[in-house]
Structure 1
């Protein structure tokens, strides 16, 4: 396979940093992407030092390295380090956010029909336990979010929170995060954006999007380790004094037998244990910042254009992604071949992908009338030749 250096990327170097892509045709960055070698090296060196000195001493010695997490993440989001908190995952960050907002019975949360399953489960749990109302924003016929309906719901129901997933896990759809932010600012509604699938593949400028909270995971397109994530918290949130219901010694200082003082920054949302894995996440974000989102976006557009165009030509294959703007997630279904046979064919050729079923996105599956889909999610370390190989494999499997 010939690997060409684009005007934006030294693809040969990036693939050398990614040993997993040499033995497999990796198409699962929307699940858990391949960590670059510098990420692995940083964690191994930290862990090796822990075996000699113990975790507390290494944390003390590497305070400066750990602190770089806030600088790198702030650069990624165009914000200040004080607005950044570490989290164990996007779901963990979401739970921290939900516990910080003082919901009361009868309060309304607005969300979408294309939300992430764990977020929906959290909302439904709150609906049962706290008596909140959960309302979903309509989609337009082409799959886009109906912003007119969103504004109508805001005006009528005066929600406490609007919660939107930027890119659903089950679809390549990209929701209009900036437009939602403008409406939330206009009507003074808390705005939570789940950027788990967009962090690392799309620009996330919080000055333009204007979320009150933005959550993300490290394991997907940021190419970090599992069990890592982060949370952006706006100045408005900090000034309002919001904090999670359950806090620990990193989030606050115990100032008296019956008193404590919160961290003034977003670190009031953090857990105590952030050392080893945070170093890996920091290195992954640094790597993305160094490559640059502009270059990543450019390469990803080339990859997805080739992949979508090729798969569209296959008779009997149905591409499921809707909306006027799509991302590096592609989903498809077919009735021309059984799922077990199709999966076996792809795995035999060392293609790494994800199969999803209705419980991962119940409303969307019901709307599409399917009981499974295959999700492909290439990233900038992939090549155009690999896109052609995937198209050829699926073509042969259906013939």
Structure 2
């Protein structure tokens, strides 16, 4: 088994000397080669001009498409580079033609931005949004989804790894159901790309959105969309410009054939180059090795947390990843995160407002989210656990934490 040289990747990561960074599901610390690539391009823009720098570095900009295609097992023509995962997802979702009575099947652990888009489309077009039940482990129940399929299902849209916990939804099994039914399948891979192997051919999705800033360790303001040739000609993006389409006559236009129809002309070129460098960095380490390291650290953190009095770990799923969520009895999760930040330990908080279909039935309001990456260490996990407040029991002997 290939192992990651942890000392080397920590040397590549300046932030490791300053903070214990356990907020990689928010934005990971970028490695030095990524930062250097971004700064170098910005310097070139400073010295020669933005258009001129883009022309001079056209090969590096194009390389990003090759790198992303290799990352997810696609062709470069299937990749669009956009500002972020939300815009990538939106450009795909809002390209779909809707008619009243169409059905959208989604997961209980779906992210707020996606759910809001579903509800807006239901209001506008009279479609039905239906949440597939979870199985006993907490992940989407594929058998239940199969029973819900009929000829009115227009879209299966699922988040691979939810923002509010460590479970991994069965993306490939969902893909088999979608292919059997001939239904378009949109996968939100915002939290999975970069921490585990993700292959669109194995998963069977038609559309996949992802970000750069999280586990890929790329700059903020970068993301990408995969669009399969199978569905591309059926999808006209909701926004077009002179990059996404050609003005062919005074009264006509033609949408470009490749996935770059989902892009627009103005783009963050320094970040786009940095995204390609970040993908190269991950591929050089190996996604299997990254997954092994991340899974090991997350499992180790869950074990440590479960051993602490008054701490409850809330992750679900038969397969779990690098996101670890918990509460401490008698303590507000936001205050815990603020206290940890004062100790230079970075975590975040997942709120019910981001996951109402999931947190509501579970009686959760907010949880602390600690998300590990391969450059973290066991010592940093111990540091987090030592810094947590002691539980506070209510007079009746039960916890009063805001997160339930």
TM-score band by shorter chain is over 0.9
Equivalent residue number for residue 244 of structure 2: 251
Instruction: Please point out which of 84, 87, 96 is paired with 1:92.
Output: 87
Higher helix share: 1
**Mean CA deviation greater in 295-304 or 63-72:** 295-304
**Which sections of structure 2, spanning at least 5 residues, go unmatched?**
393-404
Secondary structure of 2:325's counterpart equals: strand
Contact 1:345–1:397 (CA<8 Å) still a contact in 2?
A: no
Q: How does 1:180-219 map to 2 (within 5 A)?
A: 180-219=174-213
CA shift, 1:27, in A, is 0.2
Secondary structure of 1:182's counterpart equals: helix
Equivalent residue number for residue 401 of structure 2: none
CA shift, 1:314, in A, is 1.1
Contact 1:342–1:397 (CA<8 Å) still a contact in 2?
A: no
Distance 1:86 1:344 in 2: 34
**Mean CA deviation greater in 274-283 or 117-126:** 274-283
Equivalent residue number for residue 60 of structure 2: 65
Equivalent residue number for residue 83 of structure 1: 78
Distance 2:333 2:183 in 1: 44
Contact 1:199–1:222 (CA<8 Å) still a contact in 2?
A: yes
Distance 1:131 1:361 in 2: 23
Distance 1:144 1:339 in 2: 24
- The structure 1 segments of at least 4 consecutive aligned residues displaced by more than 3 Å after TM superposition are 336-341, 396-399
Instruction: Please point out which of 296, 306, 309 is paired with 2:303.
Output: 309
Equivalent residue number for residue 255 of structure 2: 262
Instruction: Please point out which of 48, 52, 57 is paired with 2:47.
Output: 52
CA shift, 1:167, in A, is 0.4
CA shift, 1:84, in A, is 0.6
Distance 1:340 1:285 in 2: 33
Secondary structure of 1:136's counterpart equals: strand
**TM-score, normalised to structure 1's length?**
0.94
**Mean CA deviation greater in 191-200 or 103-112:** 103-112
CA shift, 1:242, in A, is 1.9
Distance 2:254 2:210 in 1: 27
**Which sections of structure 1, spanning at least 5 residues, go unmatched?**
1-5
Contact 1:28–1:352 (CA<8 Å) still a contact in 2?
A: yes
Secondary structure of 2:62's counterpart equals: helix
Equivalent residue number for residue 372 of structure 1: 366
Contact 1:35–1:223 (CA<8 Å) still a contact in 2?
A: yes
Q: Does 1:225 align with 2:239?
A: no
CA shift, 1:133, in A, is 1.1
CA shift, 1:393, in A, is 2.2
Contact 1:164–1:192 (CA<8 Å) still a contact in 2?
A: yes
Distance 1:209 1:99 in 2: 22
Equivalent residue number for residue 345 of structure 1: 339
Listed one character per residue, the Cα deviations across residues 85-132 of structure 1 (whole Å, up to 9, x for unaligned) are 111111101111122211122211111110111111111111112221
Q: Does 1:101 align with 2:85?
A: no
Distance 1:17 1:241 in 2: 44
Secondary structure of 2:94's counterpart equals: helix
What CA RMSD, in Å, does the superposition of the two structures yield over aligned residues?
1.6
Listed one character per residue, the Cα deviations across residues 157-190 of structure 1 (whole Å, up to 9, x for unaligned) are 6311100000000111100000000000000000
Secondary structure of 1:307's counterpart equals: helix
Distance 1:224 1:97 in 2: 22
Listed one character per residue, the Cα deviations across residues 178-230 of structure 1 (whole Å, up to 9, x for unaligned) are 00000000000000000000000011111110100000011110111112100
Contact 1:82–1:266 (CA<8 Å) still a contact in 2?
A: yes
Q: Say how many residue pairs are matched.
A: 391
Distance 1:363 1:333 in 2: 19
Q: How does 1:1-399 map to 2 (within 5 A)?
A: 8-155=3-150, 158-238=152-232, 240-274=233-267, 275-339=269-333, 342-394=336-388, 397-398=390-391
CA shift, 1:290, in A, is 1.2
Listed one character per residue, the Cα deviations across residues 339-387 of structure 1 (whole Å, up to 9, x for unaligned) are 4653343223211000122111112221221221100001001112211
Distance 1:52 1:134 in 2: 52
